[in-house]
Amino acid sequence: MGAIVRGFDTRAAALEQFKSLGAEPLEVDLKESGEGQGGYAKEMSKEFIEAEMKLFAQQCKEVDILISTHFYFFFLNSKSE
C-alpha cells in the first residue's frame, strides 16, 4: 500500500524494534533515557513530556492515521515520499 510508518517510544530498545520492522523512529531533541525496571518505561521529566507533545502535535498535522496504545504511537502517512 506504500504507507510510511513512524513509531515513538521513550526506550531505545523499542526504537530499534521499530527500525527492524521498517518504521521510521521518532525522537525528541532531549536526550533522556526512558528505560525503567524490568523493560518497562519510566516516568519522563516535564521537559521531555512537553517536547513529546510538541512532536505528536506536529505528526498529527502530517499523517493520515494515528494509532495509539498505552506505550506506543504509530503515525501512518499514505503518501510516498
Instruction: Please state the domain count of the chain.
Output: 1
Given a cut of 50, the residues of the chain with pLDDT beneath it are 80-81
What pLDDT does 20 receive?
Answer: 92
Alpha-helical runs (H) found in 1-81: 12-20, 46-62
What pLDDT does 50 receive?
Answer: 87
Long-range contacts of 24-33 (CB under 8 A, 24+ apart): 26/55, 26/59, 26/73, 26/75, 28/52, 28/54, 28/55
34 secondary structure, DSSP code = -
Question: What is the value of pTM for the model shown?
Answer: 0.70
Other CB atoms closer than 10 Å to residue 10's CB: what's the count?
A: 21
* Domain membership of residue 68 as a residue range: 4-77
**Residues 76 and 3 sit within 8 Å (Cβ to Cβ):** yes
